[in-house]
Structure 1
Amino acid sequence: MTDHTRTDAAASHAARQKLLDQLGGTKGMVCSAIPVAAFVAANAALRRLPLAIGIALAVAVLIAVWRMARGEAFTAAAGGVFGVAAAGGVAAWVGSAGGFFLIGIWASCAGAVLLAVSLLARRPLTGLLWNTLHGNRHPWREDGPSRLAHDVATATLTVLFAARFGVQLWLYENDSTGWLALAKVGMGVPLLALALLVVFWAFRRSTKRLVERR
């Protein structure tokens, strides 16, 4: 195995591990869901949007403090606080509890459009990412099986983001805040983790064909 091959394999493994760490696993999913649940419950019980936003933000701060006390980095632990603050700001601006979810809804739309455009341009985004991680040294688009794998991986992510956007926008327009919260959690990390299995398969297939054969 050459030095370049060892470096490429290490880069792939490090990138996969970093992405999994950022998702946070079950703990990350629970920590991100608790402020959302607190917001929905407070809004339903109190019928006062500013107070519900304040409660959600306070819960997010408490979770961040707990995570930092357990040794997590500030940026990782406090990310949820900034997210809740931004979501609460939008909800206050539009004057609707459903507004708490608007950033996520339109972020899903933007993600779906970006991924779809990369497919139409015959430059699937996962393939561009894989090649970037490997120093842009490999002709992955000229290798049919590798390009097909990244077409499948990018299409999987496109369907996921488009489904998030469609379902959650429909719930938002129907003022179904409780169901919207469930959709946000259920279509968040769990489905993304499944989609990333396809992405990692595409990464591995490209690595085997273009890196490990060298």
Structure 2
Amino acid sequence: MTSLDKPTEDTPQDSRAVTEAALFEAFGGVRGMVETVLPGLLFVTIYTVNKDLHLSAIAALAVSLLLVAVRLVMRDTVKHAFSGVFGVAFGVVFAMMTGNAKDFYLPGMLYTLGLALAYIITAMAGVPLIGLILGPVFKENLSWRTRNPGRKKAYTKASWAWGLILLAKCAILFPLYWWADTTQLGWVLVALKIPPFLLAVWLTWVFLAKAPPPIDVFAEMEAEEAAAKQREAAQRSAE
């Protein structure tokens, strides 16, 4: 391992703090969770009260757009709110096309299943999805694949955890889609929004907190550029 291949020297406390901050940024934190839950909660609440598909769908879409507008006004990142808008919009389209209120939830369920398979397949292929997601957040990009095997192992474990947790969630939801009514499915979906997510994030934190710290490839590039400028300055001085 060369000097450039060595992970940044941090204390365990520093490493855990960096990991917590990165996970908080990557997954949206408390606000991101609220933006994920609120549209579905509003949909099932209104539908439970009056069984009006159109009103429930419009309300869910409206609150999603409102959350995006609030972030835009506050000049905050909108990626989590936008993903919520797209998910709700697809659900509204499905439900309106079929006239079945349960179909509001179907796109999100299919997305969850696809994501679960993506986590597992990429982990098996040696390119764990969670590493692709978090690498840029930790400023290590893909350096963990070849230069930091401890990080790669942690990302692989985390991807397996995400995949299996999401598969377990799908194993609960898809039978309910066929057998339960809309309100039962909706409330179970709301209940399963946060706990599996928190479990997966916690396991990711556990795996990464025990792994070697990331290699800051951006700092390396800056150091190389500074060294190159120094060499050029030295050459000009010698001339």
TM-score by length of 2: 0.67
Where structure 1 has 5 or more consecutive residues not aligned to the other structure, the ranges are: none
Distance 1:136 1:75, change over 3 A: closer
Of 34, 39, 62, which residue of structure 1 is paired with 2:38?
34
| Equivalent residue, structure 1, for 2:96 | 92
Pairing of 1:101-116 with structure 2 (within 5 A)? 101-116=105-120
CA deviation profile, 1:24-75 (whole Å, cap 9, x unmatched): 3333323332221221122233333222211222233334334444443455
Matching of residue 134 in structure 1 with residue 140 in structure 2: yes
Distance 1:77 1:198, change over 3 A: closer
Pairing of 1:61-210 with structure 2 (within 5 A)? 61-126=65-130, 134-137=140-143, 143=149, 148-208=153-213
State the 1:140 CA deviation: 5.6
Pairwise CA RMSD of aligned residues?
3.8
SS in 1 for 2:84: helix
Contact conserved, 1:39 with 1:56, CA < 8 A, in 2? Answer: yes
> More displaced, 114-123 or 159-168?
114-123
TM-score by length of 1: 0.73
Contact conserved, 1:23 with 1:189, CA < 8 A, in 2? Answer: no
Contact conserved, 1:98 with 1:175, CA < 8 A, in 2? Answer: no
Amino acid at match of 2:174: L
Larger Rg: 2
SS in 2 for 1:154: helix
Amino acid at match of 1:201: V
* Separation (CA, whole Å) in 1 of partners of 2:159 and 2:56: 37
SS in 2 for 1:27: helix
* Separation (CA, whole Å) in 1 of partners of 2:203 and 2:50: 43
Contact conserved, 2:123 with 2:156, CA < 8 A, in 1? Answer: yes
Where structure 2 has 5 or more consecutive residues not aligned to the other structure, the ranges are: 217-239
Distance 1:130 1:8, change over 3 A: farther
State the 1:21 CA deviation: 2.7
State the 1:184 CA deviation: 2.8
Contact conserved, 2:112 with 2:166, CA < 8 A, in 1? Answer: yes
State the 1:100 CA deviation: 1.0
Of 35, 48, 51, which residue of structure 2 is paired with 1:44?
48
Amino acid at match of 1:197: W
Distance 1:123 1:14, change over 3 A: same
Amino acid at match of 2:190: V
> More displaced, 133-142 or 56-65?
133-142
